[in-house]
Structure 1
Amino acid sequence: MKSVFLACGMWAAATVVWAQYAPAGDRIKTSWGENIDVNQVWNEYPRPIMERGEWANLNGLWSYAIEPKSAAMPRQYEGEILVPFAVESSLSGVGKQLGKEEALWYKRDFTVPSKWRGRHVLLHFGAVDWQADVWVNDVKVGMHKGGYTPFTFDITPALKKSGSNTLVVRVYDSTDAGYQPRGKQVNNPEGIWYTPVSGIWQTVWLEPVADMHIENLRILPDIDRNVLSVGVETSADAASVVAEVIVLDGGKEVASGRSVNGQAVEVAMPEDVKLWSPDSPYLYDLQVNILRDGKVVDRVSSYAAMRKYSMKRDDKGIMRFQLNNRDIFHFGPLDQGWWPDGLYTAPSYEAMIYDVKKTKDWGFNMIRKHVKVEPALWYTYCDRIGMIVWQDMPSGEKCCEWQNRSYFKGSEFERSAESEANYRREWKEIIDYLYSYPCISTWVPFNEAWGQFKTVEITEWTQQYDPSRLVNSASGGNFFMCGDILDLHHYPGPSMYLYDTHRANVLGEYGGIGFPMEGHLWTPDRNWGYIQFKSSKEVTDQYVKYGEELLDLIERGFTGAVYTQTTDVEVEVNGIMTYDRKVVKMDEDRIREINSRICHSLDK
């Protein structure tokens, strides 16, 4: 389905004259950032896994103000900020860091298309870091805590019958001064810790819906039974409607199913079903309807893949990952998803998918999304291109002091009740948000003991909540006898210093081969890598050497590996590409050849 994009909203007469927009600061930028158009910012439909035909994009220039966190709604604003870029980023046009005693305010006016009258209007935020309070026409419509997941408010009662409406958003974000999950963000960036990200950093948009409408889909394939299950969550009593799912192959209906009383729709798939894999990423289109008295009251377009993630012992007794009941080696880069000009937000959709395209072109079949969650469009692109994803929970709190203890049953972080409850809520929201994306194979609740707590309990909850995927409970150490995976980190070269006969063994991080390239550095006089070389040939030679060593370790028991990393990030210079994405630092043909050998090392 093609979306109808509506250019919604006009600025009210301003009391001050803003300076013309320009990116802030003088650091390196991507080519997409250098050519950004404030009138064409992230115009792609933001949620293709549940798509309707009409929507209105609210990205663009908003008013902003930074005030003491205890202050009331400001009467005046300081200037303009480009949404959806964090206030600290260059592309926001502001480039200011938000203090822990401050709040960031946004304001803009918008109009609702007249053709939407009689329907409910939903206000969607892709992600806001961290706490967002929202008003429409001075009526508070909602609050959300959590920097990585979308949220929605029905703003219909707060809208004016005609004319312009005013939207105000207040954001509070203490970054590492608080307990919230924040990944690599710190208030004083250095080394492997990066610039904070505060405020709106994904698309803001409006959508008209019927009174009774679809709120969420939970899509679960079962290739062993050849059944596709689709949970259809609605805005009101599901007993009053029929849920219908129609499966399309090349535009032709090939299967369908219905349910009532809120039961998941179970669709028997065709006997010649097409399975999804990195080499053949086939997606079926879905049309999902809810019907009352035989009439369709809401409809969304979606998609699904028939695929299965599991593990099984091979003929040598080694536990191997399987995809669709066949052995597969997962191999990909550590992908942090940071940008020199947009920080958490890529300058454009084209920029964002460029990283995934290059990763695929280099011969990888997997990406480890490291302590960050991406916009929905990123996961849809991975689905379409055939890229397996390991999804980390963004870390928070501080590291445990486990390094000098046993690798097994090390120390765990003592969280407050508030911190623990927040972690559990945000982790559940992330899983709910990403549940239906075929690309995600593995959940990673903890990385390197960063804020790690109640490991066994969190791991078992994750396994029970989503038994269709694997759980990598503790990537990089501080291991407990739980989960599906033993995940070692070792820099710079591959090493297998522990082995678990009951779980899959992976090398969750290795590499970090540094190569600082003049003219492409975040901080020209300061850079860092685990080891450093001075030429593309030297870096490529070392990468291939590590690849050959990894092939030997696959024979001995590894079933997955993660190379650090896709791009340079701030002062880290160990990326395959520079931070501005302008240079690939290795010989692409040579890394493609070794990567392909690794990915297909378990093929039979």
Structure 2
Amino acid sequence: MHLTRSFAFSCLVATGLALPGIGGTKLQENKARSPGYALKEPPLTTPWTDKVGTNPWPEYPRPLLQRPEWKNLNGVWKYQDAESLDAVQQPPFGQELAQDVLIPSCLESGLSGIQSDWALYSWFSTSFEVSPSWNGEQVLLNFGAVDYEATVFVNGQNAGFHRGGYFRFVVDVTKYLKFDQPNELLVFVHDPTDDGDYVIPIGKQTLRPSHIFYTPCSGIWQSVWLEAAPSNHITQLDLDANMDGQVSITVHSSANETAEAEVTVHKDGETVATHKGPTNEQFQFTVSSPMLWSPDSPNLYNVTVKLGDDQVESYTGFRTISRGKVDGIERPLLNGEFIFMFGTLDQGYWPDGLYTPPSKEAMVYDLQMLKKLGFNMVRKHIKIETDLFYQACDELGLLVIQDMPSLRPLQSRRDANGNSVTILPNEQQQVEFARQLDVMVNQFKSFPSIVTWVVYNEGWGQITAYHPEFALTDRVRQLDPTRLVDSTSGWIDHGAGDFSDNHHYANPQCGSPFYSTPSSPYDASRIGFQGEFGGIGTNVSIENLWNDQAAINTIDQTYEIDTTIEAWNYRSHRLLNELEDQVRLYACSGGVWTQTTDVEGEVNGLMTYDRRVERVDVKQWQADIKALYDAAAARSKGAESS
């Protein structure tokens, strides 16, 4: 269909949170931008688009391991595409690349200044200087995330390689540096997405966007920074603090030998505990009478860790995630009590930046809106965010159900005759998926807000000839025994994990004696959960739509289209009431509403894709969500751990 500004289903009235810069969608000239870099106007903007400038994401990117000596390398770099994977064998050392690009950004986004298609092979370059005061230290080059494979060159030398589009990595560049002149940094990126027979973790990305699959993100899409550290330095902190005050910590170091680390816990400027223990192995100590972390009271404690001359700052929250029987029904427990987890399916997409939000302010805005409505959880859907996202959830008090980015959907390609072709990982690709699942858990398991890991979504990339989810679930529990595991969110469920997870649109079927295939019947031995439902939408006028005709043509694939905002809120109210019934009558322990915002050809968000139109009747939604919690509280008579 062709939409115009006078489209009959136009929805132009927003309520609730005030948006910055809401006066129109046209980009304003930003005088701070360099002459060579120019933002390309995307199919849709946000209120933050023209505020990004040329120094994006100035915040320290790794809040759980912060160092005082660091240098942000974000800003305008140089870029040019490459023809093939073989290009990495002939790096363009000492050459100026063809175009300016904003880092961090997705090459396919307007914010990048490139807005390319099929960015399979790419070169990025910049130069940097190193403070003479860092001479004698280890200089560490950090990347928040590069999609998908990155080869890093410093001053003409191959310094490192990394595979995996969602994970941070560090390259020790000390031996390649010059302290008396600029240093050349060159990065080659290969991002196949779903090209050919590649089967890699991609989430919702596709080279052929259509409805629920979106424009891909290629390149350096999270922050890049340098930091100085002693030769024996802290590389990672595995930190957990439970409801009984027990702190469990592993201080990983760059040296093989064991040394002594000192851990100090602070609250409101006061030291509450200090303990010493060996590096590279877990040790415990206790904080007496801690203030517990929960969505209602997101209490956090600062943590300082010293190892020789190295000192880093971190934080933690005291809470325990478990499962147990409450009045004979399996329930998720937070700090020993049944918590009804209710949140949105959160895709983490932005029309101006795609995977990269235009700013931290913009990213947090989405979370604040959810919190305002009364949601206590967010399901981060087959995408992994910057560490600052999880810090915001920790601070706001939002539980996080974290998905592993999925492999390709089961039927994601058509042959010459137009028939669907099933593409599943081969043995090597499955091993790589498992490795990256390990990386996800290890990198993010210290954030207090994360309560559940999801291995597979709706069977996407899930091998059915055997049941790999059992071994993967065991592996996740081994790496992180402090959280629950939703092995198969929706569809192909063989009984693994902690959840009996139903997906159904639009009505819920949560822990109930009825279900629709391909979801499975409720399994009373596990937690009854509505992993997805809702998905209803209203169409909007073109100024709030992703202005791409192929995407517009798929709007009618939305699960339900309501013709007015009033009808949309009425239907939402009825669906939430239905879920409330299932909480009162059956074994429903939580749910995920689809979704936080519209995305490209989907118009079923609480907000439009540009965040300028808010569909929700705030008071109605607040009352309906509170009714869910009240119904769950009425079913709580005492928990028995299992």
5+ unaligned residues in a row in structure 2: which ranges?
1-33, 413-421, 516-520, 637-642
Instruction: Please give the alpha-carbon distance, in whole angstroms, between the structure 2 residues aligned to 1:364 and 1:385.
Output: 11
| Equivalent position to 1:477, from 491, 504, 508 | 491
Q: What residue in structure 2 maps to residue 535 of structure 1?
A: 564
Query: C-alpha root-mean-square deviation of aligned residues, in Å?
Result: 1.6
1:465-504 equivalence runs, <5 A: 465-495=479-509, 496=512, 497=515, 498-504=521-527
Q: What residue in structure 2 maps to residue 114 of structure 1?
A: 132
Q: What residue in structure 1 maps to residue 621 of structure 2?
A: 591
Query: What displacement does 1:113 show?
Result: 1.6
Q: What residue in structure 2 maps to residue 344 of structure 1?
A: 355
| Equivalent position to 1:212, from 207, 232, 247 | 232
Give yes or no for the alignment of 1:233 onto 2:245: no
State the AA in 2 paired with 1:318: I
* CA contact 1:238–1:260 (8 Å) conserved in 2: no
Instruction: Please give the alpha-carbon distance, in whole angstroms, between the structure 2 residues aligned to 1:117 and 1:221.
Output: 37
Instruction: Please give the alpha-carbon distance, in whole angstroms, between the structure 2 residues aligned to 1:501 and 1:346.
Output: 40
* CA contact 2:252–2:279 (8 Å) conserved in 1: no
Give yes or no for the alignment of 1:371 onto 2:406: no
What SS class does the counterpart of residue 475 from structure 2 fall into? helix
CA offsets, 1:256-297, max 9 Å, x none?
211126332312111x21111000010111111113xxxxx1
- Are the structure 2 counterparts of residues 242 and 135 from structure 1 closer, same or farther at C-alpha, using a change threshold of 3 Å? same
- Are the structure 2 counterparts of residues 600 and 385 from structure 1 closer, same or farther at C-alpha, using a change threshold of 3 Å? farther
Q: What residue in structure 2 maps to residue 438 of structure 1?
A: 448
**TM-score of the aligned structures, taking structure 2 as reference length:** 0.86
* CA contact 1:413–1:452 (8 Å) conserved in 2: no
1:24-423 equivalence runs, <5 A: 24-38=40-54, 40-69=55-84, 70-71=86-87, 72-74=90-92, 75-99=95-119, 102-177=120-195, 178-224=198-244, 226-239=245-258, 241-260=259-278, 262-270=280-288, 272-291=289-308, 297-315=309-327, 317-399=328-410, 414-423=424-433
State the AA in 2 paired with 1:501: A
Query: What displacement does 1:223 show?
Result: 2.5
CA offsets, 1:440-475, max 9 Å, x none?
110001000000131222122222221111010111
Higher relative contact order (CA 8 A, sep 6+): 2
What SS class does the counterpart of residue 193 from structure 1 fall into? coil
Instruction: Please give the alpha-carbon distance, in whole angstroms, between the structure 2 residues aligned to 1:600 and 1:106.
Output: 53
State the AA in 1 paired with 2:178: K
* CA contact 1:202–1:375 (8 Å) conserved in 2: yes
* CA contact 1:508–1:561 (8 Å) conserved in 2: yes
Give yes or no for the alignment of 1:550 onto 2:571: no
Instruction: Please give the alpha-carbon distance, in whole angstroms, between the structure 2 residues aligned to 1:598 and 1:551.
Output: 5
* CA contact 2:129–2:179 (8 Å) conserved in 1: no
Q: What residue in structure 2 maps to residue 429 of structure 1?
A: 439
State the AA in 2 paired with 1:433: Q
| Equivalent position to 1:522, from 538, 546, 549 | 546
Instruction: Please give the alpha-carbon distance, in whole angstroms, between the structure 2 residues aligned to 1:89 and 1:141.
Output: 28
Instruction: Please give the alpha-carbon distance, in whole angstroms, between the structure 2 residues aligned to 1:371 and 1:306.
Output: 27
| Equivalent position to 2:606, from 558, 570, 576 | 576
- Are the structure 2 counterparts of residues 20 and 599 from structure 1 closer, same or farther at C-alpha, using a change threshold of 3 Å? farther
Instruction: Please give the alpha-carbon distance, in whole angstroms, between the structure 2 residues aligned to 1:288 and 1:132.
Output: 31
Instruction: Please give the alpha-carbon distance, in whole angstroms, between the structure 1 residues aligned to 2:99 and 2:370.
Output: 39
Q: Identity across aligned pairs (percent)?
A: 40
State the AA in 1 paired with 2:438: K
State the AA in 1 paired with 2:632: L
Instruction: Please give the alpha-carbon distance, in whole angstroms, between the structure 2 residues aligned to 1:535 and 1:274.
Output: 45
* CA contact 1:329–1:601 (8 Å) conserved in 2: no
Query: What displacement does 1:21 show?
Result: 2.4
Instruction: Please give the alpha-carbon distance, in whole angstroms, between the structure 2 residues aligned to 1:486 and 1:364.
Output: 21
Instruction: Please give the alpha-carbon distance, in whole angstroms, between the structure 2 residues aligned to 1:326 and 1:267.
Output: 24
Q: What residue in structure 2 maps to residue 12 of structure 1?
A: none
Query: What displacement does 1:413 show?
Result: 7.3
Instruction: Please give the alpha-carbon distance, in whole angstroms, between the structure 1 residues aligned to 2:39 and 2:601.
Output: 21
Query: What displacement does 1:439 show?
Result: 0.5
5+ unaligned residues in a row in structure 1: which ranges?
1-17, 292-296, 402-411
What SS class does the counterpart of residue 34 from structure 1 fall into? helix
Instruction: Please give the alpha-carbon distance, in whole angstroms, between the structure 2 residues aligned to 1:89 and 1:572.
Output: 18
Between 507-516 and 23-32, report the one with greater CA deviation: 23-32
Give yes or no for the alignment of 1:506 onto 2:529: yes
Instruction: Please give the alpha-carbon distance, in whole angstroms, between the structure 2 residues aligned to 1:395 and 1:267.
Output: 37
